């Protein structure tokens, strides 16, 4: 959640300062939405592999990558690089969802959305807001 918040708030300035191209910052902001799904899918895949069900991780990856290839062929001609980013996000959502289904079926656990998502999200939002406002202030002063 922190990485998503960081890239949402600071993606544009970071893209400008590192690459000196405004469009790079826009790509970082779009890619920010990938972070939680990439990290979650990696963790869930490791759990599934640890359960001795590596074949399911493979099948989930094949499903996600197959969807990505199909979406690339359909979306990139119309939307360009944004089409690529959209296809990566959608395919990663599928892979993560399939991994979640397998883990939930094999490991009983209680998911607390308030403490796991809402509270960290609120803290990240306010923290990044403060730092972003400080960044804008110092950018104009210096």
How many domains is the chain built from? 1
pLDDT of 33 reads 87
* pTM for this model (two decimals): 0.79
Beta-carbon-side half-sphere exposure of residue 100 (alpha carbons within 13 Å): 12
Q: How far apart are the first and last CA of the chain?
A: 31
Strands annotated E in the chain: none
- In which domain, by residue range, is 117 found? 2-141
Q: Say whether 53 sits in a helix, a strand or coil.
A: coil
- Nearest-5° Cα angle at 69, 67 to 75: 95
Which structure tokens are listed for 81?
């690089």
Distance CA 102, CA 68 (A): 21
Residues in the chain predicted with pLDDT less than 50, given as ranges, are none
pLDDT of 43 reads 94
């Amino acid at each position: 959640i922190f990485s998503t918040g960081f890239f949402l708030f600071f993606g544009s300035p970071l893209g400008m300062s590192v690459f000196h191209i405004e469009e790079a910052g826009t790509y970082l902001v779009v890619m920010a939405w990938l972070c939680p799904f990439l990290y979650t899918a990696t963790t869930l895949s490791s759990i599934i592999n640890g359960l001795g069900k590596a074949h399911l991780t493979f099948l989930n990856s094949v499903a996600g990558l197959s969807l990505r290839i199909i979406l690339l062929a359909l979306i990139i001609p119309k939307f360009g690089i944004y089409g690529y980013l959209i296809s990566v996000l959608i395919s990663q959502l599928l892979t993560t969802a399939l991994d979640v289904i397998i883990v939930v079926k094999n490991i009983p656990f209680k998911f607390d959305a308030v403490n796991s998502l809402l509270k960290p999200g609120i803290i990240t939002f306010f923290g990044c807001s403060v730092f972003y406002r400080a960044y804008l202030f110092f950018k104009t002063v210096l």
